[in-house]
Chains A and B, each alone.
Chain A
Amino acid sequence: MDFWSTLQLALRALARNKMRSSLTMLGIIIGVGAVIATVSIGQGAEYLIQQGIEGMGTNAVFISAGSNRPGGSRMGYFGVKTLTTDDMQAILREVPLIREAAPVVFTRTQVVYQNQNWNTRVEGTSPVYFSIRRWNVIAGTTFSDEEVSAAANVCVLGQTVARLLFPNQDPVGSTIRLREMPFRVIGVLQGRGQSATGDDQDDRIIAPYTTVQRKLAGITWLHYINASAFSPETARNAVPQIEALLVERHRIRNSDEADFFVSTQSEVADMANETQRVMTILLGSVACVSLLVGGIGIMNIMLVSVTERTREIGVRMAVGATENDVQQQFLVEAVTLSMMGGTVGIVAGLAGSAMIANFLRWPTLVSATAIVVAALFSACVGIFFGYYPARKAAQLDPIEALRYE
């Protein structure tokens, strides 16, 4: 008997018990749907993290002012005064893996424009910062090295600040006030949206670090240095070199007492990705368990079906069906059930991830691999769980089967 006739037979047999067939399929539908949705959500999360990391610059190395123990109490991150621009110059000079570096100081302050005001983070840095972070202005310009040397009162606004202070006008060229000092707005940055940790990256003002150090924060040291290596690998390799250099420069005897902390984006990314992978594997295995349960459901129904249709099998054998024909028929029935369930499940999974993307504002990435794997897996479930019942049907003795009540 050719395959097409077998398939027709199977479809007819399944159509004879529509309710039962669809309930059996439900197990597979839920399993496949869950797998697809889970993987989409997981990949969406990975995409989010990737985006955040790219925002920081993929080759970034952060040298943060860390904790030391003045008199036994630790100060926490950014709590020490020992990280300076001299350190930055030394790193640029002596660690050839580092291509460029920007000093960063920050403070929070009230910002006023006419009758509008807002409390935001003011970051002081050098022009290199914008290229390291690949963050450009959409209006005006960024400040220059000359303006940094002169500690000029100029600033670039993040989208959120620009929107709140200048609801109806172009901020570029206007003068805002920070701590009663006038600052000329020379540019507006591109929108960046939320960071991987959920902060609004656009809620900030960026000014020359010299200006922020002297006029706003009143400090001489740096909070961190945002450096950039030539590649993610060199970034990793640069970490011990920078550490060695700073240990020497800061005269630290015991590395446990380092007053700085060096990290790279890849470390952050690895950690975030690892967490994400664990979550995806966890959710995925729960989804796989439901696929397995769906498969057992198919096996169960096929066994019931074989018993119920014992006479039918006897008749088919009497009129000329071979063992192979019977086995094929039941196997194709099981695979048809699981494949149909798989197809509906894929659609359900896609719809589910679209809904999650829509309502939870969580990006979901549907991967073709997940769909192909789900389809293949559901076919395998059908073959695996359909084989035993089909074998059982094929090995019935026609005489016994015909006499079965």
Chain B
Amino acid sequence: MILTDTMHEPAAIRQPADRNGQAVIHLESVHKTYYLGEVQVHALRGISLEIHEGEMVAVMGASGSGKSTLMNIVGCLDRPTKGSYQLAGVDVSNMTKVELARIRNSRIGFVFQQFNLLSRTSALENVELPTIYAGLPPEERHQRARRALEQVGLADRAHHHPSQLSGGQQQRVAIARALVNQPSILLADEPTGNLDSRTSVEVMDIFQRLNEEHGITVVLVTHEHDIASYAKRNLEFRDGKLRRDVLVRDRMMARDILPTMKSVGEEDEEEQARER
């Protein structure tokens, strides 16, 4: 990883140019300290960060860099030890567990590496899950879940169970589930970690479309640099600190890449042809 020439970017570049909206995520010197017996672990050491509406941000860093802790705090699954966190203008750093659950339900959409769909449960019902906890009436739940499935292009698979769907399709169902309550941000933790390269680009295509066409703010954690290059802005963490915050210069667009990639079927055919 080459960091030397970009360690300290000029301020002008560090501030993203297209921040027309207000800050959706606003972290102010956030610390997180764990106590493992006598030992203190400083997972985050004073992070200050703003992410604005309509941004698409990739968070990078080695394991132990604090990026998971950051995502947990940003996702309202955890609270900072010190510092403040405002989500869409609301200070959530001192909320109770119940309040945080409500915020997660209404403001945040989670996408996981393992998809985490409920097995033996149809795609539609999986997508409906957050609407149940929002207390919506059944008709509206179905309606919203259908619309979310349409957004990820899986309207025709509504009644399939996860075991009947491919990995990419499962992840799209998971994205629909994250979208169904119309959250302020989409948080994706290694969303392509379990997918092959073409399916990964397909999933990035969906994120980019949601970001471009619907203005949804996307924050994703990834190990892979090429996946990070589909985002508009990259954050890099090391030792609990934000070490790099750059705009992506040559941003890749999934819809341009996809036609140049061979589908899994085509690759198989080629292999078979070579064997012959």
Q: Give the chain B neighbours of A316 by CB distance below 8 A.
A: 129, 133
B132 and A315 contacting across the interface, CB-CB below 8 Å = no
User: When each residue 313-326 of chain A gets 1 if its CB lies under 8 Å from chain B and 0 otherwise, what string results?
Assistant: 01111111111110
A319 and B104 contacting across the interface, CB-CB below 8 Å = yes
Is chain A's binding surface mostly helix, strand, loop or mixed?
A: helix
Contact of B112 among A317, A321, A402 (CB under 8 A): A402
With contact pairs A12-B121, A402-B112, A402-B116 given, residues A319 and B135 touching in the complex (Cβ less than 8 Å) = no
Q: Give the chain A neighbours of B75 by CB distance below 8 A.
A: 318
User: When each residue 105-141 of chain A gets 1 if its CB lies under 8 Å from chain B and 0 otherwise, what string results?
Assistant: 0000000000000000000000000000000000000
A318 and B97 contacting across the interface, CB-CB below 8 Å = no
Q: How far is the CA of A318 from the CA of B189 in the complex (A)?
A: 13
B98 and A322 contacting across the interface, CB-CB below 8 Å = yes
Q: Give the chain B neighbours of A324 by CB distance below 8 A.
A: 98
Q: How far is the CA of A318 from the CA of B120 in the complex (A)?
A: 20
Q: How far is the CA of A311 from the CA of B162 in the complex (A)?
A: 15
Q: Give the chain B neighbours of A321 by CB distance below 8 A.
A: 101, 133
Q: Give the chain A neighbours of B101 by CB distance below 8 A.
A: 317, 320-323, 325
Q: Give the chain A neighbours of B129 by CB distance below 8 A.
A: 315-316, 319
Size range of the interface on B?
20 to 34
Q: How far is the CA of A1 from the CA of B135 in the complex (A)?
A: 5
A399 and B72 contacting across the interface, CB-CB below 8 Å = yes
B116 and A315 contacting across the interface, CB-CB below 8 Å = yes
Those of B105-163 within 8 Å (CB) of chain A: 105-106, 110, 112, 114, 116, 118-121, 125, 129-130, 132-135
With contact pairs A320-B104, A402-B112 given, residues A312 and B97 touching in the complex (Cβ less than 8 Å) = no
Max chain B Cβ within 10 angstroms of own Cβ: one of A12, A315, A319: A319
Contact of B118 among A2, A315, A320 (CB under 8 A): A315
B133 and A325 contacting across the interface, CB-CB below 8 Å = yes
Contact of B132 among A5, A312, A323 (CB under 8 A): A5
B135 and A399 contacting across the interface, CB-CB below 8 Å = no
B133 and A1 contacting across the interface, CB-CB below 8 Å = yes
How distant is A86 from chain B, measured CB to nearest CB, in Å?
A: 89
Q: Give the chain B neighbours of A9 by CB distance below 8 A.
A: 132
A319 and B110 contacting across the interface, CB-CB below 8 Å = yes
Max chain B Cβ within 10 angstroms of own Cβ: one of A9, A16, A314, A399: A399
B98 and A323 contacting across the interface, CB-CB below 8 Å = yes
Q: Name the residue of chain A whose CB is nearest to the CB of B107.
A: A320
Q: How far is the CA of A320 from the CA of B72 in the complex (A)?
A: 14
Contact of A319 among B78, B119, B125, B130 (CB under 8 A): B130
B130 and A320 contacting across the interface, CB-CB below 8 Å = yes
Q: How far is the CA of A319 from the CA of B132 in the complex (A)?
A: 10
Q: Give the chain A neighbours of B77 by CB distance below 8 A.
A: 317-318, 398-399
Contact of B135 among A2, A311, A317 (CB under 8 A): A2
Contact of B102 with A by CB under 8 A? yes
Contact of B177 with A by CB under 8 A? yes
Q: Give the chain A neighbours of B114 by CB distance below 8 A.
A: 311
How distant is B121 from chain A, measured CB to nearest CB, in Å?
A: 7
Q: How far is the CA of A312 from the CA of B134 in the complex (A)?
A: 17
How distant is A404 from chain B, measured CB to nearest CB, in Å?
A: 10
B177 and A319 contacting across the interface, CB-CB below 8 Å = yes
Max chain B Cβ within 10 angstroms of own Cβ: one of A5, A9, A314: A5
Q: How far is the CA of A261 from the CA of B72 in the complex (A)?
A: 89
How distant is A309 from chain B, measured CB to nearest CB, in Å?
A: 9
How distant is A10 from chain B, measured CB to nearest CB, in Å?
A: 12
B116 and A320 contacting across the interface, CB-CB below 8 Å = no
A399 and B98 contacting across the interface, CB-CB below 8 Å = no
How distant is A65 from chain B, measured CB to nearest CB, in Å?
A: 80
Q: Name the residue of chain B whose CB is nearest to the CB of A398.
A: B77
B110 and A318 contacting across the interface, CB-CB below 8 Å = yes
Q: How far is the CA of A325 from the CA of B110 in the complex (A)?
A: 19
B104 and A318 contacting across the interface, CB-CB below 8 Å = yes
Q: Give the chain B neighbours of A12 by CB distance below 8 A.
A: 121, 125
B135 and A322 contacting across the interface, CB-CB below 8 Å = no
Q: Give the chain A neighbours of B121 by CB distance below 8 A.
A: 12, 16
Q: How far is the CA of A318 from the CA of B133 in the complex (A)?
A: 11
Q: How far is the CA of A2 from the CA of B137 in the complex (A)?
A: 10
Q: How far is the CA of A319 from the CA of B181 in the complex (A)?
A: 9
With contact pairs A1-B135, A2-B135, A5-B132 given, residues A322 and B97 touching in the complex (Cβ less than 8 Å) = yes
How distant is B42 from chain A, measured CB to nearest CB, in Å?
A: 18
Q: Give the chain B neighbours of A319 by CB distance below 8 A.
A: 104-105, 110, 129-130, 133, 177
Q: How far is the CA of A314 from the CA of B125 in the complex (A)?
A: 17
Q: How far is the CA of A12 from the CA of B97 in the complex (A)?
A: 27
Q: Give the chain B neighbours of A1 by CB distance below 8 A.
A: 132-133, 135
Q: Name the residue of chain A whose CB is nearest to the CB of B141.
A: A5
Q: Give the chain A neighbours of B104 by CB distance below 8 A.
A: 317-320
Q: How far is the CA of A321 from the CA of B106 in the complex (A)?
A: 11
Q: How far is the CA of A323 from the CA of B125 in the complex (A)?
A: 21
How distant is A400 from chain B, measured CB to nearest CB, in Å?
A: 10
Q: How far is the CA of A22 from the CA of B104 in the complex (A)?
A: 36
User: When each residue 57-95 of chain B gets 1 if its CB lies under 8 Å from chain A and 0 otherwise, what string results?
Assistant: 000000000000000100101100000000000000000
Q: Give the chain A neighbours of B134 by CB distance below 8 A.
A: 320
Q: How far is the CA of A127 from the CA of B154 in the complex (A)?
A: 94
Q: How far is the CA of A383 from the CA of B101 in the complex (A)?
A: 25
Q: Give the chain B neighbours of A16 by CB distance below 8 A.
A: 119-121
13 new A-B contacts at CB < 8 Å, known A16-B119, A322-B98, A402-B112: A1-B132, A315-B110, A315-B118, A317-B104, A318-B75, A318-B104, A319-B133, A320-B105, A320-B130, A321-B101, A323-B98, A323-B101, A324-B98
A-B contact pairs, 23 of them (CB 8 A): A1-B135, A5-B132, A16-B120, A311-B116, A314-B116, A315-B116, A316-B133, A317-B101, A318-B77, A318-B104, A319-B110, A319-B129, A319-B130, A319-B177, A320-B102, A320-B133, A321-B101, A322-B97, A322-B102, A322-B133, A323-B98, A323-B101, A402-B112
B interface with A by C-beta (< 8 Å): 72, 75, 77-78, 97-98, 101-102, 104-106, 110, 112, 114, 116, 118-121, 125, 129-130, 132-135, 177, 181
Question: Which 4 residue pairs spanning A and B have beta carbons closest together?
Answer: A320-B105, A320-B133, A319-B130, A322-B101
